[in-house]
A and B are shown apart, each in its own frame.
Chain A
């Protein structure tokens, strides 16, 4: 098992930097640890390189692309039993208003915006959010109803940095089981004692704390002791 990481981990497992791995032709089971796996970023190319070499790798490029494309994330997560809310992919404000009532949470579905979401409490705020996130109506957005409160949680190997918060732990575990993305941030909506998956995002390097590093390192040690994944 080889760990390729751009994060300084505290582990005895064999670990290499992405730049070194990308020049190698190593044949092994690869765990790709990166704060940012977005399409066409280094984290993505590490998984691609491992796949081209014929290695088993987590996460796979297919899962990376799917997890960061919100409508696909929701379709696949929902199939895996993760609670999700209704959503609409469109660039039409009228269509969103016909389907849902305010307030709404709007995510971008375009090649350039990856960060966060906008909340629209009324019609004018919705127009502003859609215009901005669709890059002047050039791309689609993903609208979801806002029934409760939005929150985000860091997730490492399917384990969340939260204790006893509704079913957040279960969502985090199922999202990890579905997409195998070891490091990510989940956007979750809390509605009447239930949690619903709304979005998925990369972590900034600064968001990873020393205690997070310990969590990631111990997870890797555990996988290593088991001799890899089942």
Chain B
């Protein structure tokens, strides 16, 4: 029997489909003979009592989730998401530099330095990528801190905001599509495949409602992993290979028949009825990996 702690925050239970998926993890683990307890941020001192930690709260080196991951790692526990995966996936500069180094096909990307941010550079970027371009803060997640700009004024406005937390930003060519592929990968094997559709008239999967704090999300269309295009799965596995052997959600765009990686996410969303719709065994596979 493996004692598994699932690190969560209160917001993980605010959306019913995510809360149901978390209950599925618990039921699956218990049916496999393991102990599975939810651990909140006030329970960090309990980490040494467990054999494995499964992180479901949003990860970033600056969040409590990283403290949990690294503490468990230092104690020799099995951890999903491991600290190295968090560091690579949570910083898009780190990730795209690795994609460049290891030849992973990805969206044409430039890095913008706060110290060398001036008119000439913006003009050169527009000349190279055309208008609009996409500016990403390195710490982007859930479609936040990713904005499309088509003129120097909005470029400066967005960059100034994102430079508050990071001295470098990512600038990418704008490549519109009706959907992004999302390939779930666990330990170098494809776990599930979905299409994350863009909401009508929008260019990314999650878009903030004008003047409101809430987001509108596009549909999730699931397909059986065995029926997904082979080249798509190979591209996803190649991207994950440069990050690590954990649990990832790879976003991929299909452009003129070619697959280009948008990004690799650690801690991918798993909602009941979405990611698990076609391949019901994802809970069992993840729990088995933790209990290994």
Contacts and interface: CB of A to CB of B under 8 A. Distances in A.
A62 interface: yes
B139 interface: yes
Interface stretch (B164-172, B198-206, B212-220, B245-253): B164-172
Interface in B80-96: 83-84, 87, 91, 93-94
B210 to A, nearest CB: 24
B71 A40 contact: no
Contact-residue size bin, chain A (C-beta under 8 Å from the other chain) = 20 to 34
A110 B62 contact: yes
Contacts of A62: 83-84, 87
Interface in A19-51: 19, 22, 39-42, 45, 48-49
B241 interface: no
B45 A88 contact: yes
B41 interface: yes
Nearest to B86: A65
B184 interface: no
If over half of B's interface residues share one DSSP class (helix, strand or loop), that class is named, otherwise mixed; here it is helix
A66 B91 contact: no
Contacts of B98: 52
Interface string A43-70: 0010011001000000001100110010
Interface string A86-121: 001111100100000000000001110000000000
Contacts of A79: 74
B44 A45 contact: no
A19 B101 CA distance: 20
A139 B42 contact: no
A40 B60 contact: no
Contacts of B62: 39, 69, 110-111
B116 A109 contact: no
Contacts of A61: 87, 94
Contacts of A42: 114-115, 167
A82 interface: no
Contacts of B113: 19, 22
Given A69-B61, A71-B71, A72-B71, A41 B87 contact: no
Contacts of A76: 74
A40 B166 contact: yes
Contacts of A92: 42
Contact of A40 (B63, B101, B167): B167
Contacts of A66: 70
Interface of A: 19, 22, 39-42, 45, 48-49, 52, 61-62, 65-66, 69, 71-72, 75-76, 79, 88-92, 95, 109-111, 139-140
